[in-house]
Homo-oligomer: A and B are copies of this chain.
Amino acid sequence: MNEILQITSREEVMFFDTDCGGVVHNLAYLRMIETCRTRLAAKMGMDLRTMADSQLFPVVVRTEVDYRLPARLGDWLVIEGHLAEIDGARFWCHFTMKREIDGATLVTARQALALVQMPAGKPRRLPADWKEKWTFPAK
């Protein structure tokens, strides 16, 4: 039986993640989400070394992110990411960032990605077997 393709990563909030408002800067959350997404892609067969060689990259074409509660210096964050939907030549990954100590949801995000052959930048079809390989969560 197929499973939802899912991964969890952890991050400790560093000084360079925060700004003078005293909380984590909005760009820092997206950097942490990218690390989670990269490891999710690796589970889909697109690991960093394979990509460096093939120059076939999953490229972010749309990001939607909601900032709900701020994280602070020294917080540990847990980022859950999963493959949520195949939509033509795009696939969507969903992310939830929680504060580890109390499970509070801080940030949610969804990103649409496409496969692009670099350096030409030419879009490529998604592999036909992705829809059979994994289960997608009910919307």
A interface list, Cβ under 8 A from B:
12-16, 18-23, 25-27, 30-31, 34-35, 38, 47-49, 51-52, 55, 57, 59-68, 70, 72-74, 118-119, 121
Task: Report B-chain residues with C-beta under 8 Å of the C-beta of A20.
Answer: 15, 18-23, 52, 72-73
A12-B48, A20-B20 as given contacts; A26 in contact with B60, CB under 8 Å: yes
B121→A70 contact, CB < 8 A: yes
Task: Say which residue of B14, B19, B47 sits within 8 Å of A15 (CB atoms).
Answer: B19
A16-B31, A23-B20, A119-B22 as given contacts; A72 in contact with B52, CB under 8 Å: yes
A-B contact pairs, 19 of them (CB 8 A): A13-B48, A14-B34, A14-B48, A15-B19, A15-B25, A15-B34, A18-B20, A20-B52, A21-B55, A22-B118, A27-B30, A49-B73, A60-B67, A61-B68, A62-B65, A63-B63, A63-B65, A64-B64, A70-B121
Q: What is the total number of copies of this protein in its complex?
A: 4
- List the B residue with the shortest CB-CB distance to A48: B74
CB distance from A26 to the nearest CB of B (A): 5
B21→A27 contact, CB < 8 A: no
B62→A67 contact, CB < 8 A: yes
**How far is it, in angstroms, between the C-alpha of A121 and the C-alpha of B61 when the chains are bound?**
31
B21→A19 contact, CB < 8 A: no
**How far is it, in angstroms, between the C-alpha of A31 and the C-alpha of B27 when the chains are bound?**
7
